[in-house]
Structure 1
Amino acid sequence: MITVLVSPAELAGGRFELAGAEHHHLFRVRRLRAGARLRLVDGEGRARWAEVEAVGAASATVRPGEPAPFLEPARRVALAVAPPRPERAAWLVEKATELGVAAIHLVGTERDPRQLAPAGLARLRRVAAAALMQSGGSRLPKIDGVHPFAALAGIAAPFPMRAFLDPGALPWEGFGAPEPLLLAIGPEGGWSDAERAALVAGGFRAAGLGPRLLRVETAALAAVALALAPGLASR
């Protein structure tokens, strides 16, 4: 199954021309031909099967058809994470997208007020798009610029379950619950006392992942996997 990310208008309409980088990858690198079957997604949760009708030097004619499977986790899980260094941030976005997170909110913290340039944000979104197609997902995670820590209360509002990772905290039974979950992961230097108190006051539960000291991206992905795994049995 080859998944291709297209615009909502292209997915909803009739025939359209597929050009640019995706044309090069599909028809020059992978050498697909007319008659090939694709799965189109719009990044907003919709998917359709499609047929390649004709292949030209710079574009290919694609005709969307019947609805295709919606391959998303049963549980909505989002991250609020202190941004790691650029290469590690890209790796985190790639793997979190493959797992099916709903959003990746970058949050500045007292011990790591790191910012993200517009070019860096654009790169993370490109990484997410490539990971979505590679994994066969249907919905792109929302990725926005770095929020101040105080914005975390608003980010958390739609989530009935909230947890923050904290070294030394006990494992948390909420990882296996079905309700939408926001996971907050602090910087490698840890949360400040004031941030920890604010998280608890905002309805976040402290959760631990064992005795080892994990990097930000490792902790984030381990927590996401724990939160999504119970729902796989019912899919």
Structure 2
Amino acid sequence: MQRYFVNDLRDDTFYISQDDRHHIVTVMRLKIGDQIICVNNGRSAICAIEEITDDQVVAEVVKWEEESVELPVHVAIASGLPKGDKLEWIIQKGTELGASTFIPFTASRSVVKWDEKKAAKKVERWNKIAKEAAEQSHRQISPEVQSPVSLKQFIALAKDYDYKLIAFEEDAKQGEIAVLHSILKDIEKGQSLLFVFGPEGGLTNEEVSILKENGFQSCGLGPRILRAETAPLYALSAVSYQTELMR
């Protein structure tokens, strides 16, 4: 059953417009009486299509779903801007694995230079990728992808998280294995965890020092050195294993 994130909910009636209306009518070719799943503010419902107009699809709630498929902890992924479409890959697969927020930032070794003139369209595309991945993986929230920030701006955004970790390859080379394990053992349902990952080439020692001065801990992600687009997926998988499968 196709799933849609819908902002317009009134008295157990969803009003679906724009791209999602086009998808329902033109791509899926659904008709009045067909059922879809609508998601709003973290809740999902099985709905029946009641009306189709040139502007919108109207769907009535048949049954609200009670079970949550979201990670029991809120995980944000902060990525130093990588090259090419790697960030899109991180957003898509990270959404499937349960991330709640993505924060791109400009790191010292980021080759990509952020173009403010193209910013709005780029961020809109990233959020569309997250939304489509959330629908495909039956999420109940669509993660937010924020506009890229500087390291200083990022540190200001990070202050409200319960746990803050830096994936640092030098720690991995030295065999560090305790920090991530300890935090995942202690973190409680509803708490938040922010992971920081560097671009290709990783974070500099200076960047790591600045982050540590602002409440971050560095950690290894096993004995192998992971690519910029692989490390966030490893971390999210570890969170899921510890908080969902081991409890």
Instruction: Settle same-fold status: TM greater than 0.5.
Output: yes
SS in 1 for 2:136: helix
Equivalent runs, 1:1-235 vs 2, <5 Å = 1-7=1-7, 10-15=8-13, 17-42=15-40, 44-55=41-52, 59-69=56-66, 70-112=68-110, 114-115=113-114, 117-169=119-171, 170-171=176-177, 172-173=180-181, 174-179=183-188, 180-233=192-245
Aligned residues: 232
Q: What is the DSSP-based 3-state SS (H/G/I as helix, E as strand, rest coil) of the residue aligned with 1:146?
A: coil
Q: CA deviation at 1:225?
A: 1.3
The percentage of aligned residue pairs carrying the same residue is: 25
Equivalent position SS for 2:146: strand
Q: What is the RMSD of the two structures over their aligned residues, measured on CA atoms?
A: 2.4
8 Å CA contact 1:26–1:32 kept in 2: the answer is yes
> Against the structure 1 CA distance between its residues 60 and 140, is the aligned structure 2 distance closer, same or farther, given a 3 Å change threshold?
closer
- Structure 1 unaligned segments of length 5 or more: list them: none
- Asked if the contact 1:54–1:61 (Cα under 8 Å) also holds between the matched residues in 2, the reply is yes
Query: Which secondary structure does the structure 1 equivalent of 2:215 belong to?
Result: coil
Give the Å deviation of 1:196.
1.2
Q: Distance in 1 between matches of 2:19 and 2:144?
A: 22
Give the 3 Å change call, closer, same or farther, for CA 122–86 of structure 1 in structure 2: farther
Q: Cα distance 1:60–1:119, how it changes in 2: closer, same or farther (>3 A)?
A: closer
Given that residues 14 and 38 in structure 2 are in contact (C-alpha distance below 8 angstroms), is that contact kept between their aligned partners in structure 1?
no
Q: 1:65 to 1:149 in 2, by over 3 A?
A: same
Question: Residues 91 and 197 of structure 1: is their aligned pair in 2 closer, same or farther, counting only changes over 3 Å?
Answer: same
CA distance in 1 between partners of 2:202 and 2:13 (Å): 52
Q: Secondary structure at the match of 1:183?
A: strand
Give the Cα separation in 2 of the matches to 1:23 and 1:41.
14
**1:19 Cα deviation after fit:** 4.1
**Is the partner of 1:216 in helix, strand or coil?**
coil
Deviations 1:18-75 (A, max 9, x none): 3443234334433333322222112x32323311124467753311344323331111
SS at match of 1:147: coil
Q: What is the rounded CA distance, in whole Å, between the counterparts of 1:12 and 1:224 in structure 2?
A: 35
Q: For residue 160 of structure 1, what is the amino acid of its counterpart?
A: D
8 Å Cα contact 1:75/1:228 also seen in 2: no
Deviation, 1:13, is: 3.6
